Amino acid sequence: MESIFLSDTDYEQLASQTEDLIAKVDDLPYPKVKDDVQALLQNFDMLHREALTRLFKEIIINYPALHSKMENDKAVYLLFSLYDLFHSDIHNEILLSEDFGGNGDQYPRWIPVGNANELKENTAYKYAEEGEVVLICKTEGTVYAVKNCCGNTALPLDGAAIEKGYLICPWHGCAYRLSDGVMETNPMNKLKKYPLTIGDEGVIRLGLNM
Ligand code: FES
């Protein structure tokens, strides 16, 4: 059975053909037809822009992980980009809008924090953003993000060694399993972990306020 989905190439060709057809509207020899077609295109644009902006807003607030997936899908990326929705100003505008309390700091977001391919094994990197101090750690090929704070103390974990999947506090040696944050000697004690995603090119995005 023939696929109902277009390939990325087909989709790009279709977008390019559409662009060419729209450009030809200016050359229409009949002014009334030209005005009507332009009004029609403007209405389509407004219908799509309004609905896609609402959808984008919903995704940023309630399904932030989907945001980075969408960026990696050619067709979705192209469509949302046509309406400037991946543009950072629009993104921040949505987060800072009065509808959402006017304070973007409290809302979920994905922040690029480096490239997984450039991180050394068994090394913790300190990263500070918006009052959060996070350690980005790589061990056994996996990247983790944890709070830079040992247990309930205010003592930072930067400078901690990583051994066999555990982050070892440099102060008194408590070991935290990076895969789930659990303290080796007291499973009730957990290190706060942050969600992260890694894109095709290795770009790490840290999830804040999730
Ligand atoms: S402060 Fe981390 S083990 Fe004591």
56, two tokens: 């984008």
User: Do 115 and 81 belong to one domain?
Assistant: no
> Which residue among 146, 172, 184 has the greatest number of ligand 1 atoms within 8 angstroms of its CB, and so is best to mutate?
172
| Distance in angstroms (rounded) separating the CA atoms of residues 72 and 65 | 12
Measure 149 CA to ligand 1 centroid, in angstroms: 9
Q: Is the pLDDT of residue 157 over 70?
A: yes
pTM for the whole thing? 0.55
Domain membership flag for residue 3: no
| Domain shared by 71 and 38, yes or no | yes
The number of domains in the chain is 2
Q: Say yes or no: 203 and 113 in one domain.
A: yes
pLDDT at 55 (0 to 100): 86
Clarify whether residues 97 and 131 are in a common domain: no
Contact between 169 and 147 (Cβ < 8 Å) = no
Look at residue 111 and give its three-state secondary structure: strand
Q: What is the pLDDT of residue 97?
A: 57
Q: What 3-state DSSP class applies to 101?
A: coil
Q: Is residue 166 part of a domain?
A: yes
Q: Which residue has the higher pLDDT, 134 or 87?
A: 134
Between strands 161-163 and 132-139, the pairing is unpaired
d(CA 115, CA 174): 28
pLDDT digits (tens, 9 = 90+) for 143-152: 999 999 998 7
Residue 128 sits in the same domain as residue 164: yes
**Domain carrying residue 97:** 8-106
Q: How far apart are CA 177 and CA 194, in angstroms?
A: 14
What pairing do the DSSP bridges indicate for beta strands 175-177 and 193-194? Answer: unpaired
> Which stretches within the chain are classed as H helix?
8-25, 31-62, 64-71, 74-82, 88-96
DSSP character at residue 115: E
Q: Phi and psi at residue 146, in whole multiples of 5°?
A: -135, 160
Q: Give the helix/strand (H/E) hosting 134.
A: strand 132-139
Q: Which of the listed residues 86, 106, 126 is the one where a domain comes to its end? A: 106
Flag whether 83 is in a domain.
Answer: yes
Residue 91's pLDDT is 59
- Mean predicted confidence (pLDDT) in 61-73: 76
Whether residues 87 and 168 fall in one domain: no
With beta carbons less than 8 A apart as the criterion, state whether 109 and 95 touch. yes
- Domain end call among 106, 140, 160: 106
Q: Which residue lies with its CA nearest to atom 4 of ligand 1?
A: 172
- Residue type for position 203: V
Q: Is residue 2 part of a domain?
A: no
Q: Residues with beta carbon inside 6 Å of ligand 1?
A: 150, 153, 155, 169, 171-174
Looking at the structure, do residues 82 and 118 belong to the same domain, yes or no?
A: no
Taking residues 171-176, what's their average pLDDT?
93
Q: Calculate how far, in angstroms, residue 155's C-alpha sits from the geometric centre of ligand 1.
A: 7
Q: Of 85, 106, 127, which one is at a domain's C-terminal end?
A: 106
